[in-house]
Every structure is written in structure tokens, then in C-alpha cells.
């Protein structure tokens, strides 16, 4: 008997549902507790843009900000931001702790991102990730690190440290494979030190819809029938690589030592083009041992009319053919995904700067 609630059914089918949003009112109003109880919500992801909207766009945080400033008036806007964010992330992680325990540490995760201006700074990323993980001091925290080339080196070091990592801003299959390899190298380093592997969790956040947004205008002129297909095709190919990695000899040896697979997480799964079905990037990417982190509107839509079927491994040949058509149309997919990474990092840096400016402005008006 399938669950009446499609979100619960999706979790039961092996794809974990996470929520791509956090705001203090969600925690204080009981909304998060309700999502966990009713929908079997299994995790939360945040990013600089989400926090910018939450903190700059509401008065939710004014009281906490006033309290922080009274405690230490000399704090920088960055210190103030992390004080506020850590409170939210901790409260969410405590609410999701039963999910973490029930799934033996697979789910119940809450992600907090390192400062986006560290995207190309290996040592800075490692230092801040360690500080945040130690400060939160809960097992069901993931630190988000952008999957830039320097980010990969940070990921390897953090996994070796035993820190749960959500590797974010992945757009290409090749970069995803590099991320998976960095995860395995981190586990190797840890095993070589005789340290346990069994409680380390990691996801590789593969961004979906933005690829169609970038390619559709070109495809509209050259091959209109391919519009709205490439992002899902790219994701399906990434999953094929994942299946190969987790069934390979390298991972088998680590699994025997207690390691878990680094799951693929579908991010950027809201539909940007109103002409497309609202669940285009959810319905077509359902498969075992994956995560879909849905923004509020997509989450509500799936709860209302989502259909659960094992679609991720369907039509893989068609997906390969769609991707193979791009060079013939003069489209260099790796150049497009490289640009999306640059744009993604820049957008998060801009959100972070706006957020810090908003915190400074609020701090001045609070007159502590």
C-alpha cells in the first residue's frame, strides 16, 4: 500500500527528501517539527542566498542580533552572521536528530556552508569548516564546501578529519567524478591513520535546472526539441558514474572498513521555466541512495501531486544521445558548466556581501 503522502513514499523508495530552506520562524513556529512528523522530512540544506533572504528579509533575527551585540559589541558582521546561523543550524539539527538515529546516521543532516569568498582558498576553507563543525558539535551536521578545484583538496582533508561534507555547486559529470575520488582519498587517509570510517557522511550536490536555463536559449534556435532535456540527461549520466564508483573495487575495500557511499544530491530542482512541469527535476530523477533537496514551492508541489517511480535509471541511452548531440550543435558542455560554476560562486559571494551589509545596517538601527 503506497503512502498517501508522495513525500513519504519518495523516502520509502530510497530517495531522501531534504528541504532547501531555513529560517528562524520555521523553527519557532513548529513548522519544521510538522514537516518532520507529517512528511518524514530527512534533512535541511542552507546556502548564503537562503540566509540572505531569511536575515535581511525579515525581523526574525532582530532580537537575537541585539542579544549578540550586547554580549560583544565589537563583533564583525561575519561573526554576527555565524552566531545567528549556528543557532538556526543547531536547532534544526536537534529537531532532525531522531531521523539521524533512525537511519543510523544516513539522514537527519543539516548543512551549513563555509563563507563563499573562500571558494578558492584551500587552507581557509579547511580552517573555517573545522571551526564550524567543532562549534556545532553535533553528529548530524554537514559542512558545505564548493566543488571548485581548490575545494576538492579541502574536501579530501576534511573527510580525513572525520568531518561530514556536502560538496556543492557541481554542474559537470567530470567534476562530480573528481569529487567522488576526493572523498575516497579522504577515507583512505583516515583509514591509514587507523581512524573509524563508519560515521562519516557526505553528499555531492549536483545542480540541475541551471543547466537548462543556460542552454535553452541556444537550443531554441538550433534543436528546439532538446530544450528542457539536457539537465536531467546530465544528472542521469552522473548517477551512472555513481553506480560504477560504488560497485568498484576501490570503494569495496573502504566499504569493508565501514565506509558509506557519498550519495548524489539533486540541487537546484525548482523549475525556472514556467512552461515546464513544476516537478521536471524531481519526477525524472528518482533513484535509490540519492537525495533531492527541494525549495519550498517544489516541496509543496511534490507533496500535492508528485509521482514516485524509479525514473533515474530509465532512458539512459536517450540521455547519452541528447548529450552527444551538443557538440554537433556547436555547444561545448564543459565550457558551459565551467561558466555555471563561476557564476554560482559569484552569486553566493554577492549574497554573502549583501547579507553582511544588511546585518551591519540592522546592527546600527538596533542601537544597543
pLDDT digits (tens, 9 = 90+) for 17-58: 999 999 999 999 999 999 999 999 999 999 999 999 999 999
Domains and CATH numbers, the chain: 6-366 (3.20.20.70)
Q: pLDDT at residue 345 above 80?
A: yes
**Mean per-residue pLDDT, 92-102:** 98
**Mean per-residue pLDDT, 144-170:** 98
Q: Supply the residues annotated as catalytic.
A: 144
Q: pLDDT at residue 2 above 50?
A: no
Cα(135)–Cα(122) distance, rounded to whole angstroms?
20
Cα(66)–Cα(368) distance, rounded to whole angstroms?
6
CA angle centred on 282, ends 276 and 288, rounded to 5°: 155
Measuring CA to CA, how many Å separate 22 from each of 53, 222, 226, 270?
Answer: 10, 40, 35, 16
pLDDT single digits (tens) 262-289: 999 999 999 999 999 999 999 999 999 9
Helix (H, G, I), strand (E, B) or coil at 145: strand
**CB 265 within 8 Å of CB 204:** yes
**Which is nearest to 268 in space by CA: 205, 331, 174, 340?**
205
Measuring CA to CA, how many Å separate 216 from each of 132, 275, 365?
Answer: 39, 12, 45
Measuring CA to CA, how many Å separate 104 from each of 43, 139, 347?
Answer: 14, 11, 35
Cα(304)–Cα(4) distance, rounded to whole angstroms?
10
Cα(196)–Cα(237) distance, rounded to whole angstroms?
31
Q: pLDDT at residue 368 above 90?
A: no
**Which is nearest to 92 in space by CA: 153, 140, 151, 158?**
140
The residue that leads in pLDDT, 93 or 4, is 93
**Which is nearest to 102 in space by CA: 159, 164, 43?**
43
**CB 187 within 8 Å of CB 159:** yes
Q: Which three cell numbers stand for residue 298?
A: 517544489
Amino acid at each position: 500500500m503506497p503512502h498517501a503522502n508522495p513525500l513519504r513514499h519518495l523516502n520509502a523508495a530510497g530517495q531522501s527528501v531534504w528541504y532547501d530552506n531555513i529560517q528562524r520562524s520555521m523553527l519557532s513556529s513548529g513548522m519544521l517539527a510538522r514537516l518532520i512528523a507529517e512528511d518524514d522530512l530527512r534533512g535541511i540544506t542552507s546556502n548564503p542566498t537562503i540566509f540572505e533572504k531569511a536575515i535581511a528579509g525579515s525581523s526574525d533575527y532582530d532580537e537575537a542580533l541585539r542579544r549578540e551585540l550586547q554580549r560583544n559589541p565589537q563583533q564583525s558582521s561575519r561573526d554576527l552572521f555565524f552566531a545567528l546561523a549556528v543557532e538556526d543550524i543547531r536547532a534544526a539539527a536537534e529537531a532532525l536528530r531522531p531521523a539521524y538515529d533512525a537511519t543510523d546516521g544516513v539522514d537527519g543532516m543539516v548543512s551549513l556552508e563555509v563563507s563563499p569568498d573562500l571558494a578558492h582558498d584551500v587552507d581557509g576553507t579547511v580552517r573555517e569548516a573545522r571551526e564550524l563543525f567543532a562549534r556545532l558539535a553535533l553528529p548530524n551536521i554537514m559542512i558545505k564546501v564548493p566543488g571548485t578545484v581548490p575545494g576538492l583538496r579541502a574536501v579530501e582533508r576534511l573527510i580525513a578529519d572525520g568531518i561530514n561534507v556536502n560538496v556543492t555547486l557541481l554542474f559537470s559529470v567530470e567534476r562530480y567524478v573528481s569529487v567522488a575520488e576526493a572523498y575516497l582519498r579522504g577515507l583512505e587517509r583516515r583509514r591509514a591513520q587507523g581512524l573509524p570510517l563508519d560515521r562519516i557522511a557526505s553528499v555531492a550536490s549536483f545542480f540541475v535546472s541551471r543547466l537548462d536555463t543556460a542552454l535553452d536559449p541556444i537550443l531554441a534556435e538550433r534543436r528546439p526539441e532538446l530544450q528542457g532535456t539536457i539537465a536531467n540527461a546530465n544528472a542521469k549520466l552522473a548517477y551512472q558514474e555513481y553506480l560504477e564508483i560504488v560497485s568498484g573495487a576501490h570503494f569495496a575495500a573502504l566499504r569493508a572498513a565501514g565506509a558509506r557511499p557519498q550519495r548524489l544530491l539533486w540541487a537546484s530542482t525548482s523549475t525556472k521555466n514556467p512552461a515546464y512541469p513544476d516537478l521536471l527535476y524531481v519526477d525524472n530523477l528518482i533513484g535509490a541512495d540519492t537525495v533531492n533537496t527541494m525549495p519550498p514551492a517544489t516541496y509543496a508541489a511534490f507533496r500535492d501531486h508528485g509521482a514516485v517511480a524509479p525514473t533515474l535509471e530509465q532512458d539512459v541511452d536517450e540521455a547519452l544521445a541528447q548529450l552527444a548531440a551538443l557538440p554537433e550543435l556547436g555547444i561545448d558542455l564543459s565550457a558551459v558548466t565551467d561558466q555555471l560554476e563561476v557564476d554560482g560562486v559569484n552569486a553566493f559571494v554577492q549574497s554573502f556581501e549583501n547579507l553582511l551589509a544588511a546585518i551591519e545596517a540592522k546592527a546600527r538601527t538596533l542601537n544597543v
